[in-house]
Chains A and B, each alone.
Chain A
């Protein structure tokens, strides 16, 4: 496995040329959204400058080019996550929309009173709220799987959580706060051994960007993720679903592009995935996502993971030297992604983030769209630094030095 040089990689990201108040940017908020490499920007600009046209309808050259580029991206995404075919890739706006699509089109019609829906305490709101709503509406029971006090899952608890009544099991492949990487493949195997008909929905928003994801190896039923967290543009997301499941579902929205024929009183729909893509899609976004996938593939996802694993290990080591800094999440690097959320004695997370901004250090403060998890942890908010392919040990050092300054300022 080849490692790569993050310092060289930074040259591919034009935002590192930006200077604010005479100082460069230390970007430690990739868990919120990643920076974009020039290749992605060029792909988007290329569509808008030389072959802008709608897809699936024009006979002319540029429309055919746009359609080909759009569908090529679908193939690239399919290969990237090892889908069995490109027709299992549905383009959405983001992870939230992908999960809503599953909740509305697959789960809602099948859920009945007394059924169970299981999600977990580590989830982003995107993988909690859609299930709350559908469970309430169908009078099903929503169960939340808690972590142990060490913020990991105890898999031996699954037989108590999952039953024959469980229709849906929804879980993140990587926590956006704890950095925890649950053993998804093992968990799915146990869930399916308890109840083979339970469908498993994986929120992979924080996983696909950071490690090799193989949806067939996981044996998940649906996997959702966003383009903007994996070097792609905002406004484009992906839902992967097993083809037989996608085929069995009603459309999510109705209108242009998703139909094969329309009569005065009824319509016939296209096959999946197109029946889920109503209206002119985010063509530039899809093309940009394809470029992002190519860029990540050129780095190699195992190398990406190795880089982040080494870097989070370094960050945890540096953080441990500050007695007033308390990092949340597991410390075993084998189950830890590149997320460093923490509290500091005597300083509020917002104040930390504000002072860091004086040094152009971009971190996030708050509950990171995971209010139930923060309630579970017993803290109202955390400050979160997060890593990616372009993050260096110098970035971590800048953070730690700044945090020492923060502590001095407030004590």
Chain B
């Protein structure tokens, strides 16, 4: 049961940076229509740095844990650096082997983050 390793389940059950920002600069939502999952990302930008980040939404363990890991990873980083993140970086954070049908789940938070960043740079 590699896919649901301890850290993934921990991020699913206790998502980091979950909720909303009272002082957000910008945000976006990504949906996976076919399974009804949705993730929203909110950023507080100070200059070109992601000072704070929150995510919210509903979805499977993979989509939620992936978003949680991603928010930890990008918090405090420069926008340009985050913009260069690739799906492979997200898979590396998850450190599990995804079956093809779950790739979309894993990238839902990434998609919302990239949509958000595309609005500013």
- A350 contacts partner chain B, Cβ-Cβ < 8 Å: yes
Interface size on A, residues (CB 8 A): 19
> Per-residue CB proximity of A383-411 to B under 8 Å, as 1/0?
00000000000000000000000000110
Given A365-B35, A367-B36, A410-B61, A358 and B102 contact (CB-CB distance below 8 Å) = no
- B60 contacts partner chain A, Cβ-Cβ < 8 Å: yes
In the complex formed, the residue of A with least CB distance to B58 is: A380
SS class of chain A's interface: helix, strand, loop or mixed? helix
8 A Cβ contacts from B47-87 to A: 58-62
Q: Which of B13, B36, B61, B102 contacts A380 (CB 8 A)?
A: B36
* Selected interface stretch from B1-9, B22-30, B111-119: B1-9
Least distance between A376 CB and chain B CB atoms (Å): 13
Question: CA–CA, A350 to B3, complex, Å?
Answer: 12
Q: Which of B33, B34, B59 contacts A348 (CB 8 A)?
A: B59
Given A350-B60, A410-B9, A355 and B1 contact (CB-CB distance below 8 Å) = yes
Q: Which of A349, A379, A381, A409 contacts B4 (CB 8 A)?
A: A409
In the complex formed, the residue of A with least CB distance to B98 is: A354
Contact: B61 with A381, CB < 8 Å? no
Contact: B34 with A366, CB < 8 Å? yes
Contact: A351 with B61, CB < 8 Å? yes
Interface size on B, residues (CB 8 A): 19
Question: CA–CA, A365 to B9, complex, Å?
Answer: 20
Least distance between B44 CB and chain A CB atoms (Å): 29
> Per-residue CB proximity of A342-365 to B under 8 Å, as 1/0?
000001111100110110000001
Contact: A409 with B9, CB < 8 Å? yes
- A374 contacts partner chain B, Cβ-Cβ < 8 Å: yes
B34 — which chain A residues lie within 8 A by C-beta?
366-367
Given A350-B62, A350-B105, A355 and B4 contact (CB-CB distance below 8 Å) = yes
A379 — which chain B residues lie within 8 A by C-beta?
36
B13 — which chain A residues lie within 8 A by C-beta?
410
In the complex formed, the residue of B with least CB distance to A405 is: B1
Given A348-B60, A350-B60, A350-B105, A366 and B4 contact (CB-CB distance below 8 Å) = no
> Per-residue CB proximity of B92-109 to A under 8 Å, as 1/0?
000000010010010000
Least distance between A371 CB and chain B CB atoms (Å): 8
B59 — which chain A residues lie within 8 A by C-beta?
348
Q: Which of B12, B37, B102 contacts A354 (CB 8 A)?
A: B102
Contact: A358 with B1, CB < 8 Å? yes
Least distance between A356 CB and chain B CB atoms (Å): 11
Least distance between B6 CB and chain A CB atoms (Å): 11
B60 — which chain A residues lie within 8 A by C-beta?
348-351, 354
Given A409-B9, A410-B61, A349 and B1 contact (CB-CB distance below 8 Å) = no
Question: CA–CA, A371 to B33, complex, Å?
Answer: 9
Given A380-B35, A380-B36, A348 and B1 contact (CB-CB distance below 8 Å) = no
Question: CA–CA, A355 to B36, complex, Å?
Answer: 19
Question: CA–CA, A358 to B36, complex, Å?
Answer: 23
Question: CA–CA, A410 to B14, complex, Å?
Answer: 12
B102 — which chain A residues lie within 8 A by C-beta?
350, 354
> Per-residue CB proximity of A28-40 to B under 8 Å, as 1/0?
0000000000000
Contact: B62 with A349, CB < 8 Å? no
A380 — which chain B residues lie within 8 A by C-beta?
35-37, 58
Least distance between B108 CB and chain A CB atoms (Å): 11
Least distance between A354 CB and chain B CB atoms (Å): 6
Task: Identify the A interface with B (CB < 8 A).
Answer: 347-351, 354-355, 357-358, 365-367, 371, 374, 379-381, 409-410
Q: List 23 A-B contacts (CB under 8 A).
A: A348-B37, A348-B59, A348-B60, A349-B60, A350-B35, A351-B4, A354-B60, A354-B99, A354-B102, A358-B1, A365-B35, A366-B34, A366-B35, A367-B34, A367-B35, A379-B36, A380-B35, A380-B58, A381-B35, A381-B36, A409-B4, A410-B9, A410-B13
Given contacts A409-B9, A410-B61, 14 further A-B pairs with CB under 8 A are: A347-B61, A348-B59, A350-B60, A350-B102, A351-B4, A354-B62, A354-B99, A354-B102, A355-B4, A358-B1, A365-B35, A367-B35, A367-B36, A371-B33
